[in-house]
Amino acid sequence: MIVLKSAHEIEQMKKAAAVTAAMLDELPSIIAPGISTKDIDHWCEAYIRNHGMLPAFKGYGGFPAAACVSVNEEVVHGIPSKKRLLREGDIVSVDLGTVCNGYYSDAARTYPVGTISDEHARLIRVAEESFFEGLKFCRKGNRLGDVSHAIQTCVESAGFAVVRDFVGHGVGRNLHEDPQIPNYGKAGRGPLLTPGMTLAIEPMICTGAYDVKVLSNDWTAVTCDGSWAAHYENTVVITEGEPRILTLLGAEETNLSSNKEDAVHG
């Protein structure tokens, strides 16, 4: 069942999302060759807690960290490790969320590590561009399939593949809610977009085939052919007019000091 959110509920999500957005914007300041994926996770968890909020991912389904940190061929759900050191030319995806007063935000970005290849720079760019192509259809009266189709068209026209096994989702009172949001599909299909819907839209794309497998840790998904992947995600609100992106710095006015005072851990 798709749960529509009230203005009050969206305001709580906005507070959580402001911290998520600011954190993702600051992450490039620490991402460099030689840093471990665990270092990234520690930094993210400290950032969240220092702003009076809770990490959405830690303990969720048994996940052991505050952030999913996925490198190169890892598509999603990379478990941070002290042993996994970033190298010049890598790309690293960081997927995370925060909780404010019981309401969730969820977002992801893929970052270059030092100087990367032109192909992988384009991969990162197209993942982001495909999100915004889908966003064009995040309006009252459209169908969810319109969003999915726009993402797929953008990605495939650039020569990349859309991962099929992992999709976006509703978000709000819980980290994962209905509806599921594939990054591929036919226009005109699926649920009708309605004001009050809060969606985590997250293209995951790769340079090779879209087939993935989950490693023996039961979390980390990697491409079967070893091709590299990029991930871009934001929490979006469907309104009577233009969609609102909650987890993009500059898209919403933020006040992190007031967020800290208002947040409750309960």
Nearest to 85 by CA among 50, 35, 10: 35
pLDDT over 70 at 143, yes or no: yes
Per residue in 166-223, pLDDT (tens digit) is 999 999 999 999 999 999 999 999 999 999 999 999 999 999 999 999 999 999 999 9
Query: What is the pTM (predicted TM-score) of this model?
Result: 0.94
Which residues, in sequence order, are CB contacts of 159 under 8 Å at separation 6+?
Answer: none
What are the residues facing 210 on neighbouring strands? none
Q: Of 89-98, 126-135, 213-222, 256-265, where does mean pLDDT reach its minimum?
A: 256-265
What are the residues facing 143 on neighbouring strands? 192
The pLDDT of residue 256:
42
Per residue in 55-68, pLDDT (tens digit) is 999 999 999 999 99
Nearest to 75 by CA among 127, 2, 17: 127
The pLDDT of residue 251:
74
